[in-house]
Amino acid sequence: MPYLAGLEKEGIPTVLINFGEETGKVEHDSTLYGVPKLRHIVASRNSVGGVTEAEILVKPVLEALTRPLSDEEKESGIWEPHEPRILFEGTLPEAEEFYNQTENIPGILNAPFSKYTDGLPVVIPTEERVAEMLKGTSHKPDEIITLQRDMVMDGFGPVESTTTRKKGDVVNFMPMYRTATVEQVAVNAVMAGCKPEYFPVVLAIAESGGGTGDGRGGGGGFIVSGPIYKEIGMNVTNSIFGPGNPANKTIGRVGSLLWRNLGGYKETVTTITTLGSPVTNGGFIFAEYTEGLPEGWKGLNEEMGFREDESIIMTGAMGMGEWGIGQSNAPGVYRSLQRTGHGAIARFLDVKGIPGPHNYLEYLAKDAWATRDGGFTLVMPPQIAQDLCDYGFKTKDSIYEWIWKKSFEPVSKFRMRGAQDFITNGWLGIEKTSGKPWKELPEDYMVPAGGDNPFASYNILLCNMEETACARFGGGHGQAFSIDAWR
């Protein structure tokens, strides 16, 4: 859309072909990019074969390129929506009704969609409550959210490129390219139910883009590393992903409110998503338990270039949010493997009757990439980590390398993966391990199905738990943002 808007402004007439459910977003984005009357033609996903659809499209497409402009299409002006600082004045019951109001959106079969929330009731952001929240930071209320340090951001897919951003760069919240003040972030933090002591974490989330991504961020997935988890009482033990812990639940929730209110997400109007993520589910956060790391294993903060005593959040590492890929096992089966060499995994590894340490990763990684690409994050208790260390993985990096190498397969098999037509730009791009064009590679050349590089694609985090269970979800290492910078 920005490209087409630019062409129109340069005097080159255009027409866009889009799908039906995207029309609301097309019309909305036309205004956002400064050409409100941009012409578009709707194609069908469901017509019988592409030939029929091509025959249907030709005349309307060419007509849109040649039909003289209407008076409306010749107009220019300024689009300048204004939002007041005080949104509502009234009693608390009246405010609850106001903030929890919904509207029907045609694009989602007229289902109600909240105007200011994530669909759950919110804590009303009175002036008093917001003032209290602002005590959680030394930053001024009217300060615009900006990057707190220079950063290099990696792109993705056929347009991947590296972008350098500078300390002081203003953060834009997508899909509407909005900016925000510290106070506006505080309003959303109050609504999510956060306490003032959580606010530096919330501000770091805002600095990262607030879970908005490119407009389809889904509220985001965040990992905390560093001593702040103890200061604010994040649960890093049993039920680390479950209900009950106020910090885990409310700080995670902030992502979805920032996406709604700072980013302007409104389904089928400002953004088109598919199903959303059952993992991040509108904002998701947890913290790692570094105290249980084996000797020589670094915490996430140190892996991302910070000190052990510094607190950070990491974003962008949740991949597509898949959960529970690959094998599963009962915790007791794992214990039997390592203590006495008995049980299903011992039979799988052919180590019957031999006590451990055994390489549990051989079991976890088996067929992990059968119909899925990319890496994953493992969340495990100290015992599993120690067993891996005792087996011989003296650093987390050695594990990432080992798993990544397990994912290699011949090009002939790699070509059958569902995402790669897109990621390789129709196989026109360069394969990274060889540096050669995909089209020049022999069919038996081995390439990694498990991500571009070990560190980016894999991650291991510890939780403080006795039971030997291990959780797995998509993603590796993403971008890190300092929480301390927002104290």
Partner 1 sequence: MAGKDKVYKCLNPVGIQPPVKTSPLAPRPGNLDGKTVHLSICGEADIWVPLEKKLKADYPNTNWSVKKRYHIVPMELSEEEKKTTDAVILGVCW
For partner 1, which is the closer residue by CB, 123 or 349?
123
Contact yes or no for 134/117 (Cβ under 8 A): no
Q: How far is the CB of 192 from partner 1 (least distance, A)?
A: 10
Site for partner 1 in 153-172 (CB under 8 A): 157-159
The answer to whether 13 contacts partner 1 (rule: CB under 8 A) is yes
Stretch that binds partner 1, among 259-267, 341-349, 354-362, 439-447 (CB under 8 A): 259-267
Q: How far is the CB of 446 from partner 1 (least distance, A)?
A: 23
**Selected binder of partner 1 within 209, 219, 220, 263 (CB under 8 A):** 263
The answer to whether 466 contacts partner 1 (rule: CB under 8 A) is no
Look at strands 221-225 and 459-462 and give their pairing: unpaired
The answer to whether 430 contacts partner 1 (rule: CB under 8 A) is no
For partner 1, which is the closer residue by CB, 28 or 472?
28
- 373 closest CA partner among 320, 329, 410: 320
For partner 1, which is the closer residue by CB, 264 or 450?
264
The answer to whether 178 contacts partner 1 (rule: CB under 8 A) is yes
**Selected binder of partner 1 within 113, 124, 200, 338 (CB under 8 A):** 124
For partner 1, which is the closer residue by CB, 185 or 279?
185
Please give the Cα distance from 212 to 309 (Å, whole number): 29
**Selected binder of partner 1 within 136, 137, 139, 176 (CB under 8 A):** 176
Contact yes or no for 311/228 (Cβ under 8 A): yes
Please give the Cα distance from 238 to 252 (Å, whole number): 18
> Strand, helix or coil at 277?
coil
Distance (Å) of CA 456 to CA 73, 174, 237, 435: 47, 24, 26, 19
Structure tokens at 249: 């639940």
Site for partner 1 in 66-95 (CB under 8 A): 66-69, 73-93, 95
Residues sharing a CB contact under 8 Å with residue 294, sequence separation 6 or more, in sequence order: 382, 385, 386, 388, 389
The answer to whether 143 contacts partner 1 (rule: CB under 8 A) is no
**Selected binder of partner 1 within 200, 264, 283, 299 (CB under 8 A):** 264
Helix (H) or strand (E) holding 185: helix 182-192
Both ends of the chain: CA-CA distance in Å? 39
For partner 1, which is the closer residue by CB, 17 or 354?
17
Q: For residue 173, list its beta bridge partners.
A: 178
